[in-house]
Amino acid sequence: MGANAQTTVQKFVSGAVLTAAQQNTSAATGVPVFATTVTRDAAFGGSNKVLAEGQTCYLEDTNVVQYYDGAAWATVGPSAAVGFVTITAKTAFTTSNQVEIKTFSAAYDYYKIFFVITASSAAGVQQVRLGTTGAPDTSANYYGGFLANSGAGATEYLSNAGGTIFSVGRNYDIKAIGAGEITVFEPFAATRTRIDSTMASLNASGGGFTTYIGGGVLDVAASQTRLFLIPASGTITGYYTVYGISQ
């Protein structure tokens, strides 16, 4: 937060003293700056303050300017605040057996994670766990399934009730390469977290390929702050990008 940021919304009453510091801060910024909507509401609220149509503010967590339209806060801009907003820019991982993606907060309800696997040391399922710390949740509360189809025409499906991990894709060959996306629904809310996933992979040694679609629910009514991409065996190398979806 900038040194001159106006972080309060002052309400003067009869006999109150207007200080030079208050005047200087107001003149330097003009628009109050808040870390989140929570601190915004606390500053504009209170027993002696009433929101007026046209009042404005800036939110640091989403980098947007907002105004009060008489009934609710609305976003002025930037336009990137609507739709996909980059949360984590392209981030590489190398020979990892567990990729920790720290991403979820109160700022967004839905998230898209795009991942690319450029190398793998073993064939097997690509998996996901959720969590709130550096260690993922390994409880037997993962419910989900997938459907996969290979270029040779083979079809595989799996339904998993009460497992300890989600499946989000598969490499049928050592050194397979692939790409996929994971949609995570309301992970930060204190409720069950749902995911959808797709993945396509190419078997580097034989030229075969596999397409994959899956989904699941973590049956734990708790806030989740991160996702872990975990190969069933061996290690993976690649990169990922995370977007928040703003409505």
Q: What is the pLDDT of residues 178-226, one digit of tens each?
A: 899 999 999 999 999 999 999 988 876 666 788 889 899 999 999 999 9
Gap between the Cα atoms of 165 and 139, Å rounded = 8
Task: Write down the domain spans for the chain.
Answer: 20-81, 83-246
- What is the tens place of the pLDDT at every residue in 5-48? 556 666 667 777 777 766 665 555 568 888 888 888 888 775 55
Gap between the Cα atoms of 25 and 40, Å rounded = 17
- What is the CATH number assigned to the segment(s) 83-246? 2.60.120
Gap between the Cα atoms of 5 and 35, Å rounded = 11
Helix runs in the chain, H state only: 20-29, 37-44
pTM of the predicted protein model: 0.66
- pLDDT of res. 204: 67
**CATH class of segment(s) 20-81:** alpha beta
Give bridge partners of residue 211 from the DSSP assignment.
149, 200
